[in-house]
């Protein structure tokens, strides 16, 4: 069966640090944006990461759609010891490791955290189990995080992670990816309804 996942990035946290597994709330005060998002999305089951910012966003757009259990595999990248550091603070703390990470985020891990390859492996495994939760028309709405959505765009586009780093994934935007017999295909990226 074909599957289309309608990825929604959670509401903003207004933080400028590296926020991965730190459980921060989302600002969901823009009710008009949430209403547009709700109206734009298909009538399909809704799943989210288990982090508060994704859970609350999924709850805000659920409407009459079925709500599925939270999926820990859809968590943001884990920054380990770098959680809640700004890029400047990271550069000051460990300039060599910081440069290595920004040069090769695919393979370089923050201390106690994940590389982009680690994130992609975890998220791909979680996504590969989602087809069974899709609605009868093959649609599923997944509320997740910047890194998670980038990992799935990377899966559809192939190429290098460095090529993808310039891709915007705005808060409350929609990225739609479709899987068929030929693999994953990008339908829509960073759309703001």
Backbone angles phi, psi at 35, to 5 degrees: -65, -40
What is the CATH architecture of 3-191? 3-Layer(aba) Sandwich (3.40)
- Predicted local distance difference test score (pLDDT) of residue 140: 97
- In the chain, where are the structural domains located? 3-191
Residue 127 has pLDDT above 90, yes or no: yes
Q: How confident is the model at residue 136 (pLDDT cuts 50, 70, 90)?
A: confident
The number of C-alpha atoms within 13 Å of 76 and in the hemisphere containing its C-beta is 19
- How are the residues of the chain apportioned to helix, strand and coil, as percentages rounded to the nearest 5? 40, 15, 45
Q: 154-178, pLDDT tens digit by residue?
A: 999 987 777 787 889 999 999 999 9
| The residue to which tokens 């649609």 are assigned | 139
Mean per-residue pLDDT over the chain, rounded: 93
Q: 9-19, pLDDT tens digit by residue?
A: 999 999 999 99
- Predicted local distance difference test score (pLDDT) of residue 163: 77
Q: How confident is the model at residue 34 (pLDDT cuts 50, 70, 90)?
A: very high
Residue 6: other Cβ atoms inside 10 A: 23
Dist. CA 153–CA 165, nearest whole Å: 11
Dist. CA 173–CA 137, nearest whole Å: 22
- Predicted local distance difference test score (pLDDT) of residue 146: 96
Kindly report the length of the chain.
193
Quick one: CA dihedral 87, 147, 13, 112, positive or negative? negative
Residue 170: other Cβ atoms inside 10 A: 13
3 state DSSP class of 11: coil
How far is residue 142 from each of residues 82, 92, 110, measured CA to CA in Å? Answer: 26, 36, 26
Report the predicted TM-score, pTM, of the whole model to 2 decimal places. 0.93
The angle, 0 to 180 degrees and rounded to 10, between the axes of the packed helices 146-157 and 116-127 is: 80
Q: How confident is the model at residue 105 (pLDDT cuts 50, 70, 90)?
A: confident
- Predicted local distance difference test score (pLDDT) of residue 132: 86
Residue 32: other Cβ atoms inside 10 A: 7
Sheet holding 139-144, edge to edge: 46-48, 139-144, 3-9, 174-180, 183-191
Q: How confident is the model at residue 38 (pLDDT cuts 50, 70, 90)?
A: very high
């Amino acid at each position: 069966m074909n599957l289309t996942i309608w990825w929604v990035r959670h509401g903003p946290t207004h933080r400028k640090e590296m926020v991965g597994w730190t459980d921060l709330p989302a600002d969901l005060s823009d009710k008009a944006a949430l209403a547009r998002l709700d109206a734009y999305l298909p009538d399909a089951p809704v799943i989210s990461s288990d982090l508060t910012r994704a859970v609350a966003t999924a709850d805000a757009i659920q409407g009459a759609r079925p709500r599925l259990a939270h999926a820990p595999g859809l968590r943001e990248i884990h920054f380990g010891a770098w959680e809640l550091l700004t890029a400047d603070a990271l550069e000051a703390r460990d300039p060599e490791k910081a440069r290595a990470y920004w040069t090769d985020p695919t393979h370089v891990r923050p201390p106690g955290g994940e590389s982009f390859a680690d994130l992609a492996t975890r998220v791909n495994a979680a996504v590969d189990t989602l087809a069974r939760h899709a609605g009868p028309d093959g649609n599923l709405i997944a509320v997740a995080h910047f890194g998670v959505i980038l990992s799935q765009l990377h899966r559809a586009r192939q190429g290098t992670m460095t090529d993808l780093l310039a891709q915007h994934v705005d808060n409350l935007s929609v990225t739609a990816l479709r899987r068929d017999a030929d693999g994953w295909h990008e339908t829509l990226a960073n759309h703001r309804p």
